[in-house]
């Protein structure tokens, strides 16, 4: 059964796209820990990060760094935290979360924003990519 991320990649489910290339796809997390919370995934559906093919894994990291720089500018956060938990969706995904302190990385803070708020965040990030 395809993961929710594979369904996003196939167009079955919508997303707020931030970046796409041959190997990866990046989009705003549906539940935002902090505004700008972005996921970077390989297009190949691989459950655990240790099993992601090297080229795909490296491309996730390269794009995360590029997107992280845009997130710093778009949000004014002093840091962009990275997290790989892997419990929610069986498809490797790297969380990029704007943060001002360690508690800002707590997933209990996550909340759904309106479509208008998500589009505004998306546009601001894209402006800095």
Q: Which architecture does CATH list for 4-128?
A: 2-Layer Sandwich (3.30)
Mean pLDDT in residue range 101-117: 96
- As a dihedral over the C-alpha atoms of residue 74, residue 79, residue 85, residue 90, rounded to 10 degrees, the angle is 20
The residue ranges of every structural domain in the chain are 4-128
Q: How far is CA 59 from CA 39, 54, 90, 103, 121, in A?
A: 13, 8, 19, 28, 23
Task: State the pLDDT confidence band at 74, using cuts at 50, 70 and 90.
Answer: very high
Percent share of the chain, pLDDT over 90: 95
Q: Are 76 and 61 in contact (CB under 8 A)?
A: no
Condensed to tens digits (0 to 9), the pLDDT of residues 3-23 reads 899 999 999 999 999 999 999
Q: Are 60 and 94 in contact (CB under 8 A)?
A: yes
Task: State the pLDDT confidence band at 85, using cuts at 50, 70 and 90.
Answer: confident
Query: What mean pLDDT is reported for the chain?
Result: 96
Best CA proximity match to 79, nearest among 59, 102, 63: 102
pLDDT for 103 beyond 90 = yes
Task: State the pLDDT confidence band at 2, using cuts at 50, 70 and 90.
Answer: confident
Condensed to tens digits (0 to 9), the pLDDT of residues 41-66 reads 999 999 999 999 999 999 999 999 99
């Amino acid at each position: 059964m395809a993961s929710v991320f594979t369904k996003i990649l196939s167009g079955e489910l919508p997303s707020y796209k931030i970046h796409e290339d041959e190997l990866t796809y990046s989009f705003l997390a549906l539940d935002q820990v902090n505004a700008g919370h972005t996921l970077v995934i390989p297009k190949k559906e691989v459950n655990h990060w240790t099993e992601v093919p090297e080229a795909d894994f490296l491309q996730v990291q390269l794009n995360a760094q590029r997107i992280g720089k845009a997130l710093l500018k778009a949000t004014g956060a002093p840091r962009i935290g990275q997290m790989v938990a892997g419990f929610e969706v069986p498809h490797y995904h790297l969380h990029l979360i704007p943060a001002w302190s360690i508690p800002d990385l707590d997933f209990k803070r996550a909340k759904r924003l309106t479509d208008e708020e998500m589009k505004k965040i998306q546009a601001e990030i894209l402006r800095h990519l």
